[in-house]
Chains A and B, each alone.
Chain A
């Protein structure tokens, strides 16, 4: 019986995290747009606008380009499914998520990579020049962010002696010195750069661009419409919320629920929402003051993140 109860609690945690990240991700987009607008002296759309957009999209007709195959249809599903899977088992609301022992950071990175790969393949499947352009650019940036991200995973894992994600979060709660260690600070700086690149924010990609020739991510999803576009939007915003959630829990691990009780989950959710919102507002404010970088300047930024993370490893080795 107790096994059944534990299973139920685990499922509850998964559902709470998925709903929080899927819905909250859209609101996060709204908050970030609102912040930008206000900083630029505009009123801007309401915070719930992305949510309304998705609701509208869901009831629209699905259109498939003539040349496209099932790969095109599978793209958004895989993006959303990988985000849902990682969200369900990541230490977001609680540091004891379902399947906590097997939530490996390295595996998380590669599961999310599956989403990026399937979206790039879907873009090439449309047989349009813009699809190919977006896929080529996104894959190039991905080819350079993935090494930086793996270096971040390494830099976080070496002092903790494990690459298990919940263990990394718990470590910070148990021993606050870990959070302030130079290794982790350097790694988290690199992680932030990676998140910005991975989720297509400025200065890597402009999520609000209307000029097709400068698009990266938006060019890949130009052919989607209706519920498919809704899935892409939800999936991508969930990725942003998820990565930011992991980031804030590694950087500021306090407030993460230690267990799976209802009260704990409520407090944990509130704290998570607050932390992610602050991070989102900070990123949006930063975006106001930056312009998009040239595509061929990006390798320098990402190589910088890579080196930062490796410096983090080095500092851990020196100080141990």
Chain B
């Protein structure tokens, strides 16, 4: 395949943006979405070809950017991210026209969304520093516009956008510095040249390299939602229109991971072990913190956003393990850990993209995303609920869905790291398994809550009671990703060899030698295998046997009856007597009291006559973000304080301003003299 395909994909992307911004009438959304799908399809085909052959594609376009021109270089590892982004974007663009009746249909939105998608593809494909940084910035700005696209008037949305703007600009500054430092030392802009020189004699001196690595971790980590730089994520993801949330969570956060791989593994050719250990520690902290926060929040999209922090934490855990093993020259195990990280990224894109799209459908149908006001959707929106359940079970890592395969691989990589490496790696890996295990247990809680309270039971509000199934486009868009969850869960070997080739190309493994097996997943040097397809078949068989046994034995019983729930003989049963998301999570909230620091307030007012009679009890409980209150609030307050102090200089008196000018002039003379 020719490299010019890569350039070609930009054409429909630009056309989509133009069509979305300029085309009159309602059909601009269809046009923009259709053209964006074409862009993504071209990108996905190119990425698939690169992954299959293992050879990169390069194209140079001198006219697009001034001075340096643009350079796209699709290597196997970036192809993984391009393909993932493209699939999520295709699903979101199928979904978008259905959603457009409720928002995201303005000229601005329809023009900017294709730019956002195309810039994400270019970030992963970029072959030189300028292209990469321009696309990175374009991605940040366009996503910011999209967050504000529908509800710029709402206070919460504006505040979320503000947080996002500050965090993403600060992150981008760190990214620019890191990439520029590396490229300046190598004296080249092209990533291929920089990577080639990284292994040679003129590699980066230790001090500069450490600065670059820390900057990269800050910049890319904040994009990936790493604790403590995650604060924008649970604000911006819920407030953005749902197709945009799906793109941000399913595709954009992955590029933070890509950035870390790009800088640490490709451009610098490896990093010191302390840095990889830091990546693992931050990953473990993110996973735990995200899982616990997700399990106690009652806002559906906020829950999903925290779960993104959780999943990206697991990716960072695998990535850090891979780097740690690579510095210890355990290349085979390092490749396995990197394959795991890439599979976790792909899995996360599938289920989280799907969940955000399904959450958007639920929000459109019911008018709320508060779990405490949902319920009963399984009767009213069966298709959306089915899709939602599949993706939620996938996140909960139960078979036969894709999350299960990812966690198994992570567990096996950690297990093998304990067995065959030095003491440091072994201890780190044991701690990592502990974090993985805790995270897994707690995130099951979050998703049982999301499905059980959100979709099952009886509707808890009029909006939920009036819900109707959403247009077919929205079901198909989300269903596409749910299907991906099932396929990847039953046949992971469809993608694993490609991921292995990509990982080996990054770490310089001569030949991929870790994964074997046709249907089963087998690891080199390991006795057992994982047989996801057999688990699926076995579950189906066992269920058939169980149902047959239930219906055959005692088949002369009377037919089934639908009756009021027994509920221990209670006559009156209302929807308000059901458990809510808050009450469901209350036991866990108590268990993690020290981490969550919930704000509880019980006010009991007694009757005037006697203290023994209670008139009313007011109970209020909120769970904020500990990191935000402990770390960011003081910083924000300090900045505000500075602002107030600076305001004293300006009291509106012209005399004072003239005096400032005079003093400044005199000072200038003194300095110059």
Contacts and interface: CB of A to CB of B under 8 A. Distances in A.
Interface of A: 58-71, 77-78, 80-82, 84-85, 88-89, 99, 101-104, 106-107, 110-111, 113-114, 117, 120-121, 123-133, 135-137, 139-140, 142-151, 153-154, 157-158, 161-164, 167, 212, 222-223, 226-228, 230-231, 295-296, 299, 306, 310, 313-314, 317
A136 B586 contact: yes
Contacts of A65: 562-566
A167 B434 contact: no
Interface stretch (B84-92, B176-184, B211-219, B448-456): B448-456
Interface stretch (B27-35, B238-246, B346-354, B570-578): B570-578
Contacts of B578: 127-129, 132
A64 B562 contact: yes
A142 B577 contact: no
A142 B587 CA distance: 12
Interface string B451-464: 11100111000000
In the A-B complex, list the 10 residue pairs whose CB atoms are closest, starting with the nearest. Answer: A132-B579, A164-B528, A124-B452, A102-B531, A65-B565, A146-B441, A147-B437, A150-B437, A58-B554, A81-B542
A65 to B, nearest CB: 4
A131 B456 CA distance: 12
Contacts of B590: 296
A306 B585 CA distance: 22
9 contacts: A71-B456, A78-B543, A124-B452, A124-B579, A126-B457, A127-B573, A132-B578, A161-B526, A227-B551
A139 B561 CA distance: 29
B408 interface: yes
A135 B584 contact: yes
B441 A147 contact: yes
Given A67-B458, A77-B547, A128-B567, A106 B539 contact: no
Nearest to B545: A84
B411 A125 contact: no
A77 B579 CA distance: 24
B115 to A, nearest CB: 40
A143 B546 contact: no
Contact of A113 (B398, B529, B563, B591): B398
Contacts of A230: 550
Interface stretch (B139-147, B412-420, B504-512): B412-420
A99 B519 CA distance: 13
A184 B571 CA distance: 53
Nearest to B528: A164
B530 interface: yes
B441 A145 contact: yes
A71 B388 CA distance: 13
B558 interface: yes
B4 interface: no
Contact of B535 (A64, A77, A111, A227): A111
Contacts of B434: 147, 151, 306, 310
Contacts of B376: 67, 127
A155 to B, nearest CB: 10
A144 B439 CA distance: 10
Given A59-B557, A128-B578, A227 B586 contact: no
A135 B448 contact: yes
B30 to A, nearest CB: 34
Contacts of A120: 448, 452
Interface in B657-672: none
B528 A101 contact: yes
Contacts of A223: 565-567
Contacts of A78: 543
Contacts of B557: 58-62, 226-227
Contacts of A142: 441, 444-445
Contact of A140 (B393, B535, B587): B587
A59 B527 contact: no
Given A110-B397, A150-B433, A154-B437, 19 more contacts: A58-B553, A62-B560, A63-B561, A64-B562, A65-B566, A70-B378, A82-B542, A84-B546, A88-B538, A114-B399, A132-B457, A132-B579, A136-B587, A161-B527, A162-B527, A162-B528, A163-B411, A223-B566, A296-B587
Interface in B47-69: none
Contact of A132 (B412, B433, B583): B583
Given A104-B408, A114-B399, A167-B528, A136 B456 contact: no
A89 B538 contact: yes
B568 interface: yes
Given A59-B556, A61-B561, A222-B567, A104 B452 contact: no
Contacts of B397: 110
Nearest to B453: A124
A110 B404 contact: yes
B579 A143 contact: no
B558 A61 contact: yes
A253 B149 CA distance: 64
Q: Which of A61, A99, A153, A154 has the most CB of B within 10 A?
A: A154
Is chain A's interface secondary structure helix, strand, loop, or mixed overall? helix
A212 B531 CA distance: 41
B250 interface: no
A167 B527 contact: yes
A66 B562 contact: yes
Interface string B252-275: 000000000000000000000000
B209 interface: no
A107 B520 CA distance: 13
B649 interface: no
Nearest to A70: B378
B124 interface: no
A128 B458 CA distance: 9
A123 B451 CA distance: 12
B438 interface: yes
Contacts of B444: 113, 117, 139, 142-143, 146
Contact of A63 (B448, B535, B560): B560
Contacts of B393: 114, 117
A149 B437 CA distance: 8
B426 interface: yes
Contacts of A163: 411-412, 415, 528
A84 B543 CA distance: 9
Given A99-B534, A164-B527, A140 B577 contact: no
A151 B586 CA distance: 25
A180 B552 CA distance: 47
Nearest to B408: A106
A124 B457 contact: yes
Contacts of B419: 158, 161
Contacts of A64: 560-563
B396 interface: yes
Given A124-B453, A140-B445, A62 B561 contact: yes
A88 B542 contact: yes
B448 A231 contact: no
A313 B434 CA distance: 11
Contact of B528 (A66, A103, A131): A103
Tell which of A78, A89, A140, A231 has the most Cβ of chain B within 10 Å.
Answer: A140
A81 B543 contact: yes
A143 B441 contact: yes
Contacts of A104: 408, 528-530
Nearest to A145: B441
B575 A127 contact: yes
Contacts of A103: 528
A81 B548 CA distance: 11
A167 to B, nearest CB: 5
A298 B601 CA distance: 25
A84 B528 contact: no
Contacts of A139: 444-445, 448-449, 584
A157 B415 contact: yes
